[in-house]
Structure 1
Amino acid sequence: MVLGECRLAVPVKQSDPGPHSYDGSMSVALQRFHRPKPMQSPQANGRWNPSKPGGPRRCSPPFTLLVTKEHPMRSQAAVLVALLGSVFAVTSPVHSAGVAAHPASYAPEAPAYPPARRGDVTDTFHGVQVPDPYRWMEDLRDPTLNTWIEAQNLLSGPYLDDAARFDAIRGRMTLLADLFPTREAEREAGGRVFFRELMDGKVRLYVREPQVAAARVLLDPETLGEGLALKAYVPAPDGRHVAYLVGASGTDWGEVRIRDVASGRDLPDVLANVRFQGPFHWTADGLGLVYRRFAPPRDGRRELPAEDPAIYLHRLAQPTADDLRLFALPEDRRDWSLTLGLPGDRRQLFAYVERGPWGPGNLGGSRSQLHVLALDASGQPVDDTGARQLSEPDAAYRVVHAEAGRAWVFTNLDAPRGRVVLMNLENPAPNHWKTLVPETDGVLIDVAWLGGRLVTHRFENVHSAVRVFAPTGKPIGEIALPGTGVVQGLEGSASSSQVRMMYSGLLQPPVMLRHDLDRGTTTTESSNGQAPDLTGFEVRQEWFASKDGTRVPMFVVLRRGLARDGSHPTLLYGYGASGTSTLPVFSEDSVAWVQMGGIYAIANLRGGGEFGNAWYQAAVRERKQTTFDDLMAASEHLIAQGWTSPRKLAISGASNGGLLVTATMLQRPDLFGAVLADVPVTDALRRHLSGNGPQQVDQWGTPDDPAVFPALRAYSPVHNVGQGRCYPATLITTSRDDDRMPPWHAYKLTAALQAAQSCPKPILLSVRDSGGHGGGDGDAWLTSAARQLSFLARELGMTVAP
């Protein structure tokens, strides 16, 4: 039986989600179909198919690969040796020239890894020489790199795609995925009602006309163009037009188009070089858009840092070349981020010049310089005085609402856990602020102006609490939730009393709640009656002491009455970076894992935002080792409690979480049986040179800083691989088109680990053709996550029932 073929073929057309949530972005109810989750793989009939998308996989001529089912590892390895021996100049210490040879300590069944040439590049930082033998992999257009990637995919495929195991896991996850809402909250504009709904695997935009019961399709993704998806939309205030963002699945880049609602046709206006979900906002008269755009990617290379962000005004039917540049980064902050808001009456443009990672919810960058520019109804500046600076870049700021010369501002200045203040725009100094919603023990992560009131969302011991306040700050009441779970998103409008939010827990399937601010009542708007019986499982919140004695929490999901005999396959997930909180929400992969007989745990590591800014600051720059110490302590806690043992324990993380798990594994390979690292950061000395790295310097530092360099060098994964060591079974995954964290991070670490591995435990790389940093849409993510769990089941010795 043929498992996979690689013939000469025309090049496969590659597709090109965002770290920030902007006005018009995908609602939480539908984000599962554009989620920042691990892995995406080409598929056919729900299973991995190496010939999709775009026909047979490419080969470098004149080779034809044919892998047979009999002894797939050995036959595949032989083919790869024949292929790669004539392509690469091999100088790896574990391979002889032209032949992929096993080191002496390998068992006969050890994988035959595709060789990767080693260069002689060396950097010097503060007198310390740092070799970088795989620097050549940073040239993503290198044809030999493409051949090496395809060989890696052929090697990893049989480990991930065992039919019986994969099909059982994928089927279980599909049933769980059906529990999520498929329709998002409605938006009203000019009497029309707009909403998106998932049907047949496609997210369509609908509109319902006044006095008409049935909605009609306003935008079908099939009409957008090959590989393109609807990422965000914003109706004009009068409902006559809809601005919408399209882009290839996974890429951070896209373009804004404008559709006439009555005719269903697009205007000729196209706003290019927009990133993430915008932002873009309609002017008060509904005939213009205020939006942010960037310079086109240099040399067409989207993995390079984006340049020259600026805020523009576009008037309908005018050439985009004539768009008015309203605001740009100051000259002394050209490497900072820029975003915008147009709240309230749309007469004040708020520009945020930011540095550092984004805070929780809608708080924004950890250091933000706030500016305001007065506009008229058409979006034109009311005078030529330009924007006024309202704050120093000393804290995070977000304007929630503005009217009559006042702004309701969400900030963490002098309040590490967040507060809401009233700012006089003519006298914005902090000593003139009035605190409306004070700081509490809980962490304020989101504030929305809905129905003329302030609706706040706090984390209290990593659970949600939603409260309502009058514009004056007077408490109105708390919105009752079904349990101690997590709310995702506060959706509604300034003019409506209806608030919608999705609620879930680790064992609580998601439900859409609707709260009436006028009546103070909450109802369940949508839920799935086909939810499985999960009463046989339980969630525990356990606390453990980290290396420095700090108590850190984790959630553990397991079957009730499980014996504490150390025998249970356990999957521990962590992130611990960017002030991002790791939340106990419902997810198909975690529930499937415990249904399979495993234990699932998430650790709320320092570097995250679960307990405010201090929790984040404890693990940045030269203090980053704190996060790795927390993960080691979490692992040791699970073992000490008798839930698992090192050979049965796996750790998983994506993006900065990929850095977490690979750095921790390299420091303590004895502690883990398997590792999953998706779109990982692995070269801490060069992360600031590509993707969104320049905007993250405040969090990570650079090797040019003598105070930070020793820490970066000490934990950077590619610089700490030890030759001749036995590392846990490791699956590294990435996307060719990841323009936020370029895939060469994954390539370099894979090459280093494979060259160093001294035992048969596999070090595998799986590269998807598209999906970007977030892994692509929901169906592809389900397939990819099932492949990951299939790998873990194989390596941890789990039997997967059909």
Structure 2
Amino acid sequence: MSTAAHHGIARGDGRAPPCVETLHGTPVADPYRWLEDPDSPATRAWLAERGREFAAAAENWPLRTPLAERIRDLVAAELWTPPLRRGGRVFATRRPAGGDHPAVVAFDDTAEADDPDRGAPGERARVVFDPHAFGPGGGTTLDSWEPSPDGERVAVQTSSGGTERGTLRVLSAATGLQVEDPIEGVRYSNVAWVGSAAFYYVRRDDGDGRRGVWLHRVAPAGGGPDALVRACGGPRTVPGVRLLGGRWLVVSESHGTGHRNDLWIADLAPNGSDAGGARLEHPRWRTVHAGEEAETQPELGPDGLLYLRTTLGAERRRICAADPRRPGTGHWRQVVGEDPEATLDGFTATGTAEHPELLVARTRLGISELTAHSAADGGLLRRVDLPGEGMVTRLEPAGEGPGAGAHLCYADVATQQEVLVLDPGAARPRPWPRAARPRPPTPVRRRTLRCRSADGTLVPITLFTAEEPPDAGAGAPAPGDPGPTILHAYGGFGRPRQFGFSATVLAWLMSGGRYAVAHVRGGGDLGRQWHLRGARRGKPRAVDDLVAAADSLVAEGACARDQLCLSGGSAGGLLVLAAAARRPDLCGAVIASAPLADMARFERLGLGPLWIREFGTAADPQDFAALMSYSPYHRVLADGAAERPAVLLTGFHGDTRTDAAHPRKMCAALLHHGESERPALLRYERDVGHGPRAVTKAIELAADAHAFAAAETGLDRPPAAAAAPAGGGSPRRREAT
């Protein structure tokens, strides 16, 4: 690789001269590199111009206001997370109907927290932490939280401006006041309490040698510097920490986003007693596995055994058991085997020491299944009757003692996320709080199609329609007739598409539109090999799959070519831009939210260095050739089609994952290369990032994006009124990469 060679003369507008960089003997033009500086006067002026263009275009989108109103109605429900019992308190998060953020709340009793005779939980809950109080403008988000075992303290992580660079605070559960100075510089850190006086946490977003697992002693017992317990293995690894059963400290290192981790365990003695002991700072590690091409998640069963969900020897995952004192792979015993057609997403160990059970959640093309198995031999005990065809998340024990049952969250396309309780031995869960009852959902029809990709591989497509479009009239397609359709794809990092609740999708369906998901390679929909075949030098296959899916929907008669809008975010934004750059006639419109676009420089921007296992590196000649074969930014610079789809890009100034330089540069390339009269718009926001945001801001973004899709595909009927789905929850722990 050579250093960049600059060509041209100095510009009077503050922009750098055009840049050409020679990589592996190939000149790579980068005329808009100056847009990588987000705060230069030239970039600010350019963004202001794009803002005026977007505002002028959005004024002419007829469904912008009706979609925003319907989405707001659909999300207007009180949302809870599963309750946690710690000491004499019950903790959860609650977002009131119409609220922007969830707050951490507590009940000061050990009785059934949703007993209707004692009043609704929302009436009895005391707020421990409300992110709105730290940022009245809605820019502060609650990233994660964890109460201490005795229920006296709560560790709360927040971030502001969308940067996801967090602050960790320790609060009194009784008063909500901070008990010591906050810890800065954490990013979605696990917090593993050791008693109530100390906890482990991780640093993963610093470049000063502090990445790793740390021990913090809480004031007043603390006061000294935090102790580094285990250093991180390198700049492209992500550490994690958990404490199982109050005794077993588990540390993991994930290697980039390649779905591979190393795992160690240490015994801190029963109940984590002697919190000041030296063994807390210097645990004696036992290796679970290291150096394997496998990803493993451990849980502790009521029988004291370690249960491990793993891809080792099972690309769709299996569950093995081991004695935590002899945790190496040579001592593993398979309990629940791999299903060749469904991916094992999550599990939890319940029951008693004498009769332990494993609750297992699998996903089959986006739809969850839940089963109970004997922990002794993996035998099927019962199938759990879920409320519908949807998504199960947050599967965890309902209490700290044996025989407590389990909590889970459930959502589907027409039902907002709700908390469910599965009592011991039950085959049907009940809602929590007890008063929560889901309202009748809007009928949605789901069917699966399959298309043949360029290499002959069959790729599944899920297509959603309203069974009977309400208030069908002018502009509403009759069943079987072509109609406006959004085709979504992600195709990255081995993540399967799961069909939970989306108020935006539901509002689109209620307007008579259709919504499809292409389960392309690169995702995890059909197992680990499905991911790997669409990763790194295989990433062009994911583009092939999406192109084939779009052609198939047109051939099937679901939509005409100009009625089709491709939609994707982050890695999915890269995919839809790459497909449209390859085939400018493929569709009528494209929505790319916070996309990757410049694949020659992705590893120099945002979290790009962590993604080399997924996309490759421009330093390798073969990887470079694959990257440049589909890099949307460079395809547009080189080809510049006379006709192309209308494009809406979104960019977030605080984005520390896919740097907002990607949509800025992509928009400039679309505007100035080629002769298309179709719009290329950039919706750019400050004070937000890639991750969670205030509900109000999320509604505005969703309504704008889908109003654009409606205007470009001919959908002109406002969404019909329907009962808003009930139930709900928001994540307590969230991992981001």
TM-score band w.r.t. shorter chain: 0.7 to 0.9
Whether the aligned pair in 2 keeps the contact of 1:490 and 1:501 (CA below 8 Å) is: yes
Pair 692,451 (structure 1): closer, same or farther in 2 beyond 3 Å:
farther
Residues in 2 aligned to 1:392 and 1:434: alpha-carbon distance in whole angstroms:
18
Which residue matches 2:733? Answer: none
Q: Is 1:677 matched with 2:592?
A: yes
Q: Which residue in 1 is equivalent to 2:159?
A: 247
From 80, 90, 98, the equivalent of 1:183 is 80
Aligned to 1:49: none
Q: Which residue of 2 aligns with 1:31?
A: none
Structure 1 distance, partners of 2:682, 2:540, is 26
Checking the alignment, whether the CA contact within 8 Å between 1:565 and 1:644 is kept in structure 2 is: no
Report the alpha carbon displacement of residue 118 of structure 1 after superposing the two structures with TM. Answer: 6.9
- Equivalent of residue 515 in structure 1, options 403, 415, 422: 422
Instruction: Measure the CA separation in 1 of the matches of 2:587 and 2:179.
Output: 56
Whether the aligned pair in 1 keeps the contact of 2:14 and 2:42 (CA below 8 Å) is no
The letter of the residue matching 1:477 is R
Q: Who is 1:209 aligned against?
A: 108
Identify if the C-alpha distance between structure 1 residues 142 and 118 changes in structure 2 by more than 3 Å, giving closer, same or farther.
closer
Is the CA contact (8 Å cut-off) linking 1:646 and 1:672 kept in structure 2?
A: yes
Structure 2 equivalent of residue 310 of structure 1: 212
Identify the residue that residue 458 of structure 1 maps to in structure 2: 362
Distance in 1 between the 2:498 and 2:302 partners? 34
Match of 1:584 among 486, 489, 499: 499
Provide the C-alpha distance between the structure 2 equivalents of 1:596 and 1:91, rounded to a whole number of angstroms.
51
The worse-fitting range, judged by mean Cα deviation, of 513-522 and 286-295 is: 513-522
- CA positional deviation for 1:628: 0.7
Mean Cα deviation higher: 236-245 or 487-496 = 487-496
Deviations 1:242-300 (A, max 9, x none): 11112215321111111122333210231211102x111110x22111101246578xx
Shift of 1:457: 0.8
> Structure 1 residues 459 and 254 mapped into 2: Cα distance closer, same or farther (>3 Å)?
same
Structure 2 residue identity aligned to 1:368: N
| CA 1:173–1:606: 2 relative to 1, 3 Å | same
Cα distance in 2 between the residues matched to 1:118 and 1:647? 38
Partners of 2:465 and 2:198 lie apart in 1 by 53
- Structure 2 counterpart of 1:622, one-letter code: R
Aligned residue for 1:46? none
Which of 308, 311, 328 is residue 412 of structure 1 equivalent to?
311
SS at match of 2:359: strand
1:368 alignment counterpart: 261
Q: Does 1:335 align with 2:256?
A: no
Alignment partners' CA distance in 1, 2:268 and 2:509 = 55
**CA spacing shift, 1:335–1:799, aligned 2, 3 Å:** closer
- When residues 775 and 370 of structure 1 are mapped into structure 2, their CA distance, relative to the original with a 3 A threshold, is closer
Q: Is the Cα–Cα contact under 8 Å of residues 141 and 693 in structure 2 kept in the other structure?
A: no
Per mean C-alpha deviation after superposition, the further-off stretch among 406-415 and 652-661 is 406-415
Structure 2 residue 350 is matched with structure 1 residue 350: no
Deviations 1:413-448 (A, max 9, x none): 111110111234454442321111111222111122
Q: Which moved more, 1:384-393 or 1:674-683?
A: 384-393
Pick from 345, 349, 352: which aligns with 1:445? 345
1:220 and 2:130 matched: yes
Identical positions, percent: 29
Residue in 1 that maps onto 2:442: 534
Q: Secondary structure at the match of 2:579?
A: helix
Distance 1:451 1:734 in 2: 47
1:572 and 2:475 correspond:
no
* Contact 1:584–1:602 under 8 Å retained in 2: no
- Answer whether contact 1:308 1:334 (CA < 8 A) is retained: no
Deviation of 1:356 (Å):
3.8
Note the alpha carbon deviations across 1:693-743, whole angstroms, 9 max, x for none. 222211111011122111001111111112353221000001011011110
With over 3 angstroms needed to count, the CA separation of the structure-2 counterparts of 1:726 and 1:164, relative to structure 1, is closer
1:133 to 15, 31, 53: 31
1:423–1:432 CA contact under 8 A, matched in 2: yes
Structure 2 residue identity aligned to 1:731: L
Equivalent pairs counted in the alignment come to 671
Counterpart amino acid of residue 217 in structure 1: V
* 1:785 shift after superposition: 0.7
* 2:146 aligned with 1:231: no
Q: How does 1:457-606 map to 2 (within 5 A)?
A: 457-475=361-379, 476-491=381-396, 492-495=398-401, 497-525=404-432, 531=439, 534-535=442-443, 537-560=444-467, 563=478, 567-606=482-521
CA distance in 1 between counterparts of 2:156 and 2:410 reads: 27
Distance 1:211-1:674 versus aligned 2 partners, 3 A rule: closer
Q: Is contact 1:502-1:510 (8 Å) kept?
A: yes
Counterpart residue identity of residue 327, structure 1: R
Question: For 1:163 and 1:460, how far apart are their aligned partners in 2?
Answer: 37
Contact 2:311 2:318 in 1 (8 A): yes
Contact 1:290 1:313 (C-alpha < 8 Å) held by counterparts = yes
CA distance in 2, matches of 1:516, 1:404: 19
What is the CA–CA distance in structure 2 between the aligned matches of 1:418 and 1:320, rounded to whole Å?
44
1:162-204 per-residue CA deviation (whole Å, 9 max, x = no partner) reads: 48532111111122223x5512221111021112211251422
Q: 1:584 & 1:181 partners in 2: Cα distance? A: 21
**Which among 622, 625, 634 is matched to residue 710 of structure 1?**
625
Quick check: 1:270–1:320 contact (8 Å CA) kept in 2?
Answer: no
> 1-side partners of 2:690 and 2:236: how far apart?
21
Query: Which is further off, 400-409 or 592-601?
Result: 400-409
Call closer, same or farther: CA 1:512–1:206 in 2, change over 3 Å.
closer
Paired letter, 1:503: Y
- Alignment CA distance shift 1:170-1:668 (3 Å): same
2:226 pairs with 1:323: yes
The 1:474–1:483 alpha-carbon spacing in structure 2 relative to 1, beyond 3 Å, is: same
Q: State the alpha-carbon separation in 2 of the partners of residues 118 and 632 from structure 1.
A: 36
Question: Which AA in structure 1 matches 2:267?
Answer: A
Q: Is contact 2:386-2:428 (8 Å) kept?
A: no
Partner of 2:299: 400
- Could you tell me how far 1:504 is from its partner in structure 2? 2.9
**Letter of the 2:347 counterpart:** V
**Cα shift at 1:634:** 0.8
TM-score, normalised with respect to structure 1: 0.79
CA distance in 2, matches of 1:530, 1:414: 40
> Which residue number corresponds to residue 659 of structure 2?
742
Taking the aligned partners of 1:550 and 1:649, their CA distance within structure 2 comes to 23
Rounded Cα–Cα distance in structure 1 between residues aligned with 2:78 and 2:291: 40
Alignment counterpart, residue 781 of structure 1, candidates 683, 695, 698: 698
Q: Work out the CA distance in 1 between the residues paired with 2:698 and 2:541.
A: 31
Aligned-partner SS, 1:581: coil
- The residue number in structure 2 matching 1:265 is 177
- The whole-number CA distance in structure 1 between the counterparts of 2:152 and 2:283 is 33
- Equivalent residues of 2:213, 2:232 under 8 A apart: no
Other structure's SS at 1:709 match: helix
C-alpha distance 219-679 of structure 1, shift in aligned 2 (>3 A): same
Judged with a 3 Å threshold, the aligned counterparts in structure 2 of structure 1 residues 545 and 269 are, in CA distance, closer, same or farther, namely same
Kept in 1, the 8 Å contact 2:421–2:430? The answer is yes
CA contact (8 A) 1:208 1:215 kept: yes
CA contact (8 A) 1:502 1:513 kept: yes
Query: C-alpha separation between the residues in 1 aligned to 2:151 and 2:480?
Result: 62
Rate the CA distance shift 1:795–1:338 in 2: closer, same or farther, 3 A: same
Change in 2 beyond 3 A, CA 1:352/1:673: same
Gaps of 5+ in 1: 1-89, 99-114, 299-306, 358-364
Unaligned runs of 5+ in 2: 1-6, 112-117, 119-123, 469-476, 720-737
Structure 1 residue 558: Cα displacement: 2.1
